[in-house]
């Protein structure tokens, strides 16, 4: 079985794709085959930015990276209603199985946070937390470095603990050095959640490269290898 990780975040725009790209780049540079998987991407106008970025790193075609792509920048559940295409959860599972049979490492990235709705199944809203529960993938949390992150991160950990997910660690992203809470947040979050803060990525004009060097020393912890 390949080494796999699900990258989630405390909110949208926190830096999941930056962290995913940095991890993929490290693995590719070490000579491994890497499959990146974003089951659903929304907000695709002329391009799907997340998929396009990772495609350049992993060498995968876009159709292998993303099963469903929507134009509207909204949650997948809403996008499918607006655009008239129903998301089939079983198709998402089958595609994950296909990627796991092909690559040594798999990086799966959600959209927004854990409770973002994907579709409706058996009369219930199906979220990314449900996807993690059903697939049993271990999880890496990406959170903001600054003010407000304690609450968001603790709630994210609570949801993952509720579904008995394996949490590999937390990456704090977007450190500026200008917010006093950035210096105390790591210790408080670790104390409150019992989850290790693996790295602190600074805000940068080249965020993937910045995270690349921050994650080099913790790759084995993320993938438990």
Within 30-113, residue ranges assigned H as helices are 49-58, 62-65, 76-83, 89-100
Strand ranges, E, within 44-196: 68-69, 105-109, 117-121, 124-127, 139-144, 167-175
User: CA–CA separation, 160 vs 136, rounded Å?
Assistant: 11
As annotated, the active-site residues are 38
Count other Cβ atoms within 10 Å, centred on residue 125: 13
Place of tokens 């059903």: 134
Coil, strand or helix at 40: strand
Please give the structure tokens belonging to residue 180.
């006093």
The bridge status of strand 139-144 relative to strand 3-9 is parallel
Place of tokens 């974003």: 38
Task: Report residue 69 CA to chain centroid gap.
Answer: 17
The bridge status of strand 124-127 relative to strand 40-41 is unpaired
The bridge status of strand 34-37 relative to strand 105-109 is parallel
């Amino acid at each position: 079985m390949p080494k796999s990780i699900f990258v989630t975040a405390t909110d949208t725009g926190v830096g999941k794709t930056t962290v995913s790209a940095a991890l993929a780049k490290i693995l590719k540079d070490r000579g491994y085959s890497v499959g990146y998987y974003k089951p659903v991407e929304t907000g695709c106008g002329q391009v799907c930015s997340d998929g396009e970025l990772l495609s350049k790193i992993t060498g995968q075609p876009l159709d292998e990276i993303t099963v469903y792509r929507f134009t509207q920048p909204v949650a997948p559940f809403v996008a499918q209603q607006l655009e008239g295409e129903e998301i089939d959860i079983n198709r998402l599972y089958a595609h994950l199985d296909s990627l796991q049979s092909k690559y040594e490492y798999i990086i799966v990235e959600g959209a927004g946070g854990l409770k973002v709705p994907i579709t409706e199944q058996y009369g219930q809203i199906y979220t990314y937390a449900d996807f993690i529960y059903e697939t049993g993938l271990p999880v890496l949390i990406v959170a903001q470095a600054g003010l407000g992150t304690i609450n968001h991160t603790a709630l994210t950990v609570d949801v993952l603990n509720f579904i008995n997910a394996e949490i590999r660690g937390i990456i704090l992203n977007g450190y500026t050095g200008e917010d006093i809470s950035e210096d105390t947040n790591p210790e408080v979050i670790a104390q409150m959640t019992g989850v290790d803060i693996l790295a602190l990525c600074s805000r940068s004009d080249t965020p993937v490269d910045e995270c690349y060097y921050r994650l080099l020393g913790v790759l084995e912890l993320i993938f438990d290898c």
